[in-house]
Structure 1
C-alpha cells in the first residue's frame, strides 16, 4: 500500500478540526456506509462547512485511503497476540478471536469503508486484500502448526484461514454495523468474542473420530 498519511498539521486548531471531521466521518459511515455517505453528510455531522473538509482531504476516497494506512499496522499488532509462545489452544483461539473483534470494534468505519470501496475500485480491492492478508497469514501458520500436532488433518491450511477470516469479517460486520437500528454500544463484546473463539477452536483444534490423544 503506497499511500502515506498526511504530515501532522502544524497548529492545534488544525489538528482539532481534522479530528472532528474524522470523528464525524466515522459516525456517518458506520450508519450509512461509505458509498452512501457524501462530503456534505460528513461536514454537517461535524458542524463544519464542506470547504473545511477539503482543507484536510481531497475527497472522501482520499480520506479512506489515509484511514486504511492508519489502522493497518494496528491490526497487525493486535493479531500478534495469538502468535505468542506458551499459549494453550483455547487461549490462542481466544486471542485470535479477540484481536479480530477488537479491530472491528475500534476501527469499524475504516473497515466498512475499505471493504465497500473494494467493490467498486481496483485500488481499494488491493487495500482490502492486503488488510485481510494479515489475519489470513497468521491463521495459516496456526493451522500448519496444529496439523503438525495431529489436528485438522487433510485440510488445506490457507483455505481454512480464508474461510475463517471471511466468517470473522461477516460476523463482526453484522453485529456492529449490519443493522441500521442496531446500536453497536449494546453488543455484548464478551459473548461475541467467546462465540468466535469457540468456532475458531473447533475448526482448527479438532481430530477425526478414532484419532484422539
Structure 2
C-alpha cells in the first residue's frame, strides 16, 4: 500500500474509533490513547494526523459539513418552505443525519462547553449552516405568510427546536413512534414558520 493511501486509512480509522468512543464514553471522557488503541494504532501515530483531540473533532466537523451538503443534493429536495412537503423532506433529512452522526454532534456540544475557541468555531459553523437555509424561508414570505422573525432568526429557531426534539426522541424522552415524531415535528416547524397548519 502506498504511503499516502496508508495515511488516509489510518486517519479514517482514528476518526471512526473516536466516533465509537464518543458514543459510549462521551467526548470529555475519551483520551487520545483510547482512540489510538480503539483504532488498533500506536499512540504516537495519532499525532502524525492530528495535533490533539480538538483537531480531530474539527476534522469531523468538516466531514459533517460535507455530509450536509450532500443531503441537499438528494432527489426530491425543494427549498420552498411554504410547501409542507418540502418541510417534511428537510425534517426527514435531518433525522437521518442525526442518527448517522449523533456521536459527533454530541461531542461538538461537549467540546464547546469546555473550550471557548471551539465554542466560537461551532457557533460560526451553525450560523453558516442556518444562513444556507434563509432562502428556503423566503418562499414563506412570498406566499403571503409572516415569519416569526428575520429569515435568519426564523431558521435558527427552527433548527434549534428540531435538533433538541430529535435528540430527545432518540434518548427516549419523547414517547412517540418515529413516524408520529416526524409528522409532529414537521407540523411544528411548518406552523412556526407560516402561522398555519396543513
TM-score scaled by length of structure 1:
0.72
Q: For residues 62-109 of structure 1, give each alpha carbon's deviation from its aligned partner in whole angstroms, at most 9, with x where no partner exists.
A: 111111122213323424668636787121111221232222222223
Change (3 A) 1:18 1:139: closer
| Map of 1:32 onto structure 2 | 25
Instruction: Specify every segment of 5 or more residues in structure 1 that has no aligned partner in the other structure, as ranges.
Output: 1-8, 209-213
Change (3 A) 1:77 1:189: farther
| Map of 1:126 onto structure 2 | 120
Cα offset for 1:201?
A: 1.8
Instruction: Specify every segment of 5 or more residues in structure 2 that has no aligned partner in the other structure, as ranges.
Output: none
- Does structure 2 conserve the Cα–Cα contact (< 8 Å) formed by 1:93 and 1:200? yes
SS in 2 for 1:119: helix
Does the alignment pair 1:64 with 2:51?
no
Does the alignment pair 1:10 with 2:3?
yes
Distance in 2 (CA, whole Å) between partners of 1:53 and 1:35 is: 17
SS in 1 for 2:113: coil
TM-score scaled by length of structure 2:
0.77
- Does structure 2 conserve the Cα–Cα contact (< 8 Å) formed by 1:135 and 1:165? no
